[in-house]
Each structure stands twice: as C-alpha cells, then as structure tokens.
C-alpha cells in the first residue's frame, strides 16, 4: 500500500514533506514490534499514525485500543491499564481486566503519555522491558504481548529535567520517533483541508459549500493556527453555519481569524515552572529578534537622515561620536535614547520631515511593487525585501496596502 492509498483509507489530507515523511516511517516500522513515540502539537492528527501502524502490522486482526492517559484520574489509571482483583480497593466488587490484558497480541495507543503518574510509569517500564505486570492488589505476575505506541504534545526534555517523567521510560518508548509538523509548517495543505471540511459540512447541513476568493486564500495560509487542524475545522464549521454568503472574502474571513500571537507568549502557571513553556519561549525569541531587526532598521534610517542633513554642519569628530551612540542602543536604553548626553543639534526640522516622508513613500512603493511581483505572497515578498513577515504585515497595514 503506497502513501496515497494510506491517505485515502484514513482520510488524511495533504502533501507536505513532513506529513509524507511521518507516514513513510509509520509504514516501515509497522511490520515490526518496535515501540513508537509520536510527537507534535495538539490538533495535528497524531491519532492517525498508530491506526496506520496497527492496520499494516501482523497484529491487525487483533485488538487495537486508544487510551487518553490525561483523561483518566490518577487514582484509577493503574486499574484501567493493568486491571485489579476483587477487594483491592473500596469499589472493587469483582476482578477486572485492564487494557494490557484486553489487548494481548494487539496494539495499545497511549495518548498524552507524559501525563502518566510516576508510579504508573514504573509499571509501564516493566511491561516494555519484560512484558510483565501485576494487577492492582495482586502479587501474581501476569504476561502480555502487546505493542505500545505512545504520543505526546509535551516537551520531554523539560519533563525529564523537572522530574515529571522517567528518562529510562522515555528511551524505551522513543525507539522510533515520528514527528507530525504543525499546520503552519504545512501551508500548502491548509487550503486543501479547508476545502475538504467545507464540502463535508455542506453535506452534513444540506447547504452549498463555502468558497474562498483568491485574495482570501493567502490570509488563510498565513494564519498561525495555534490549534492546528482542529482549529481549522472548527473555524470552517463556524463560517459554514453563520455566514449567509457562500463566497468568503478576506473581510469576512478576518472576523474569524483572531490575532493570536499574544496568546502564545509565556504566562505564569502552576508552580511557576518556566520549563513548561519551551514552545512559547521560542515564539517570544522570534518576536524579539524581529523587534531587534526593526530597531536596527530604525537606527539605520535615523543615522542616514542625521548624517545627510545635520552632521555635515559639524566637525569630523562629531559624526563618529553620534555613530557610536547609535551602535550602542539596546532594548534597555532605546526608550531613553532621546535623553543621552551626546546630542547632535537639529535645526532644519522641515527638511528632515520632508526627507522622512520621501523615504516613507519610497518604502511604500518598494513594498507595493514587491507584492505585485510575488502575486501578493507575503512570504516571498518579505524574503525579497529582506524583512520579516511580521514586519511586512505591519508595513502593509501602516501603508494601507491590504488587497
């Protein structure tokens, strides 16, 4: 069975390299009994990979069970997974089989495996190492021949360093890693998914399918999609139900795509454990790097204006002093730049204002032409202009170049 046949069988939409790579690895490991760890953000479709592996394995005629470890209370997780004997706790009125007994010779998918309590992790490690376990309240060793596939959206490096997850268990689970990329890294798949969801909802609700105008597609593809495929599906359903018009313009679409970059910034949480925010820190660093580039652009612009209109009136030593001060501007002192001791007197403010206006017009013209050359593709335009996509988006709004 090739990749396209697998996608069709399991309802997987997309042709991005990362998605195809994940499916390819799944098909290669399926005939073996190797443990697999699937990583990726929430909503990327991690549950599809274990289904593919099980269906292509020699266990395909036996039981497959998916268990959400984060949804089971800590007090009952051991009983759910390994079973219990009568009388082992207050409500244990009879013996009960656990998932590992039920799926003997089959496959068990442990979703959100990083949420397992440490005591349960010890039991799971024993199953992986020897296939042995004991029911809750029993001293009898049971045997199981089950294949374990696990998944998480957690950063295991942080979980291990903070003592929340056992390192030896991580290496046992992570024999073969499979990573599913977030939707924002699969931009060519976003419109395909939107179109599929729109068709499905049209059929479900007995109404015409919504369609995007050409200029609305880039807006959809350049959105951050913090909730990934799940968020895209929800928004498609909202538009399908709420909007009377079936042709969706950028103005209509923008009402459903709230600005969510601020929501990705780090925030205090339980135990003030900043190690839980690795992905958020990466986003913050990107914002700061973009901001730093904007500041450098500002330094360059101010330096050009001052050198051209003012510094020529002073001695040769003064421009060097001013240049040095510009180079030393940092995030800490940028707000105090206007009060530095080394100042260059500005006399011809009208000329400077005119020069700034001229530069602004040139910048607006350059951005407009670049967008035209790249068919309004902001990613290509930002690369051509040598600025970040975030800066380009801000400039487009500033100069009212939204198309």
Interval 127-160: pLDDT, tens: 999 999 999 999 999 999 999 999 999 989 899 9
Residue-averaged pLDDT of the chain: 83
Q: What distance in Å separates the CA atoms of residue 43 and residue 113, rounded to the nearest whole number?
A: 16
Domains and CATH numbers, the chain: 3-181 (3.40.50.300), 184-260 (1.10.8.60), 274-398 (no CATH)
Say yes or no to pLDDT of 225 above 70.
Answer: yes
Q: Is the dihedral of CA 67, 18, 378, 376 positive or negative?
A: negative
What phi and psi values does residue 163 have, to the nearest 5 degrees? 80, 10
Helix (H, G, I), strand (E, B) or coil at 315: coil
Beta bridge partners of 124: none
Indicate the pairing of strand 247-248 with strand 132-134. unpaired
Q: What's the pLDDT at 308?
A: 61
Say yes or no to pLDDT of 367 above 90.
Answer: no
Confidence label for 121 from pLDDT (cuts 50, 70 and 90): very high
Say yes or no to pLDDT of 380 above 50.
Answer: yes
In which residue are the tokens 């498609």 written? 236
Q: What's the pLDDT at 291?
A: 72
Q: What's the pLDDT at 286?
A: 59
Q: What's the pLDDT at 314?
A: 52
What value does the CA radius of gyration of the chain take, rounded to a whole number of Å? 29
Q: What distance in Å separates the CA atoms of residue 103 and residue 79, rounded to the nearest whole number?
A: 15
CA end-to-end span of the chain: 44
Q: What distance in Å separates the CA atoms of residue 28 and residue 37, rounded to the nearest whole number?
A: 14
CA distances from 387 to 181, 268, 379 (A): 25, 32, 10
Helix (H, G, I), strand (E, B) or coil at 133: strand
Say yes or no to pLDDT of 335 above 50.
Answer: no
pTM of the entire predicted model: 0.64
> Residue 386, CB half-sphere, CA atoms under 13 Å: how many?
5
Helix (H) or strand (E) holding 148: strand 147-152
Helix (H) or strand (E) holding 65: strand 64-68
């Amino acid at each position: 069975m090739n990749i396209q046949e697998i996608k069709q069988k399991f309802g997987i939409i997309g042709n991005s390299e990362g998605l195809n790579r994940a499916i390819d690895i799944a098909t290669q490991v399926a005939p073996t009994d190797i443990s697999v760890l699937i990583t990726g953000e929430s909503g990327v479709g991690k549950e599809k990979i274990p289904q593919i592996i099980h269906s292509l394995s020699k266990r395909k005629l036996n039981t497959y069970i998916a268990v959400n470890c984060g949804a089971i209370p800590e007090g009952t997780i051991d009983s759910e997974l390994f079973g219990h004997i009568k009388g082992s706790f207050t409500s244990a009125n009879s013996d009960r089989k656990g998932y590992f007994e039920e799926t003997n010779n089959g496959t068990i998918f442990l979703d959100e495996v990083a949420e397992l309590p440490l005591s349960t992790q010890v039991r799971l490690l024993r199953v992986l190492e020897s296939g042995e376990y004991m029911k809750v309240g029993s001293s009898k060793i049971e045997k199981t021949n089950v294949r374990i596939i696990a998944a998480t959206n957690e950063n295991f490096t942080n979980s291990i360093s903070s003592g929340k997850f056992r390192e030896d268990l991580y290496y046992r689970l992570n024999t073969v890693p499979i990573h599913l990329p977030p939707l924002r890294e699969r931009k060519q798949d976003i419109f395909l998914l939107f179109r599929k969801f729109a068709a499905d909802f049209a059929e479900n609700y007995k109404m015409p399918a919504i369609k995007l105008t050409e200029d609305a597609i880039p807006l959809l593809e350049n959105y951050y999609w913090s909730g990934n495929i799940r968020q895209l599906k929800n928004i498609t359903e909202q538009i399908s139900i709420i909007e009377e018009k079936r042709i969706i313009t950028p103005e209509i679409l923008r009402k459903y795509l709230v600005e969510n970059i601020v929501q990705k910034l780090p925030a205090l949480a339980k135990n003030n454990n900043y190690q839980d925010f690795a992905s958020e820190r990466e986003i913050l660093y990107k914002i700061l790097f973009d901001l730093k580039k904007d500041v450098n652009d500002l330094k360059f612009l101010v330096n050009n204006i001052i050198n051209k209109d003012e510094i020529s009136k002073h001695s040769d030593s003064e421009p060097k002093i001013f240049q040095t001060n510009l180079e030393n501007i940092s995030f800490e002192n940028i707000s105090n730049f206007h009060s530095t001791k080394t100042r260059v007197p500005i006399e011809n403010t009208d000329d400077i204002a005119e020069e700034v206006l001229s530069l602004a017009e040139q910048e607006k013209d350059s951005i407009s032409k670049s967008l035209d050359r790249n068919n309004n593709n902001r990613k290509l335009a930002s690369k051509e202009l040598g600025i970040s996509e975030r800066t380009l988006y801000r400039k487009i709004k500033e100069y009212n170049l939204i198309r």
